[in-house]
Amino acid sequence: MCKILCSTGALIGLPNGRDYRLLGPLSKELTCDGYEFMMYSSWYEEAETIVKALLSMQLSIPVMHCEKHIGEAISKGDLETATDLFQKNCRIANALGASKIVIHLWDGLTSDSCFGQNLATYGKLREITDACGLALLVENVVCTTKDPMTRWKELHSAYKDVQFVFDTKMAAFHDQLDLLYAPENEWLWKEGHVRHYHVNDYGGGYVEWAKLKTLPIGQGHVDFKKFFDFIKRIGYDDTFTVESTAFNAQGQVDVEMLNKQFQFIRNAMTEI
C-alpha cells in the first residue's frame, strides 16, 4: 500500500530557525503517512540530539534525503568531504529507521559538468549503503550540461541495479516528464529502478531557472491526472513525498495546503 510522506524541508527552514522541534506539534496536525527527513548542513554538530528528538516524537521516517552539499562536493571533486558527509547521513538514516536514502549525485554550479567523477563516486556510495542496509536512490536533479534522463541512462549503463527517485518538478523543468511514459523507458519501472516519487508542481518553461520553485499540486502546469493514471497502470504501490514549501516569511506553516495535497494524492491513487 502506498505511503504519502511530507518532506521535513517543506516544514522547517530559515524563517522558523530550522527548529526541528516544531515537527512534534506539526505532526499532530498533518495527515501524511510519514516523513522524508531532509538533512541540513548546519545540523551535523547536533545530529545526535536531533535523532533523539525525532525518535521521541515517534515519527515514521521511511526515507531520508541527504544534505545537498554532498552532491556539490562530488561535482567539485572533493570526494573525501563527500564520502565523510555521506557516511554521517547514512548513520542518521539508520538511527531514524529509514530504508531509503535520496541523494543529489550532482549539484551546485558545477552540476553535471564533470559527470565522470559523479559516475565513479556512485559506486563508492553504493558500497556504503549496501553495507548498512539502505537503498540508495539517485534523484533526477536539474543539469547544466546535459539532462537528468541522459545521466540516468549513463548510470544504468554502468550499474545495472541502480535505483532512482523521480521528481515531477525536476522532470518538467527539463521538459522530460513524458519520458517517464515513453515505451523506450519502460526499463525504469519494469525492472524496478524507480523506487520513490517526489510529487511537486512546476510553473515555468523549459530550463527556466528563474521559476525553479517547488510549487503545490495545482499551482503549475504538471499534468497530474496523466501522471497518476500511469502510476496506477504500472502497479506502483510504494512511497511518494510532497516537498512544496509550506512556511511563509514568518516561518508559519500552511498545514491546510499540505493536507489538501496529501488528500489529492490519496484520491488520485484510489480513483478508478
pLDDT of res. 183:
97
DSSP 247: B
Nearest to 70 by CA among 168, 136, 164, 20: 136
Long-range contacts of 76-80 (CB under 8 A, 24+ apart): 76/108, 76/110, 76/114, 77/114, 77/117, 79/117, 79/121, 79/124
| pLDDT for the residue numbered 1 | 82
Has this prediction a pTM greater than 0.95? yes
Domains of the chain: 3-270 (3.20.20.150)
269: CB partners within 8 A, 6+ apart: 2, 228, 231, 232
Closest-CA residue to 8 (of 220, 217, 241, 252)? 241
For the residues 129-138, what does the mean pLDDT come to?
A: 98
Q: 271 pLDDT exceeds 90? A: no
Please state, for a pLDDT cut of 70, what percent of the chain lies above it: 100
pLDDT of 272 > 80? The answer is no
| C-alpha 92, offset from chain centre | 16
In percent, the amount of the chain with pLDDT more than 90 equals 99
pLDDT tens digits for range 3-41: 999 999 999 999 999 999 999 999 999 999 999 999 999
**If you compute the radius of gyration of the chain from its CA atoms, what whole number of angstroms results?**
18
Query: In terms of DSSP H, where are the helices of 195-254?
Result: 224-233
Query: If you average pLDDT over residues 223-252, what whole number do you get?
Result: 97
Reported confidence tier of residue 243, pLDDT bands at 50, 70, 90? very high
Position 44 scores a pLDDT of 97
Average pLDDT over residues 119-144: 98
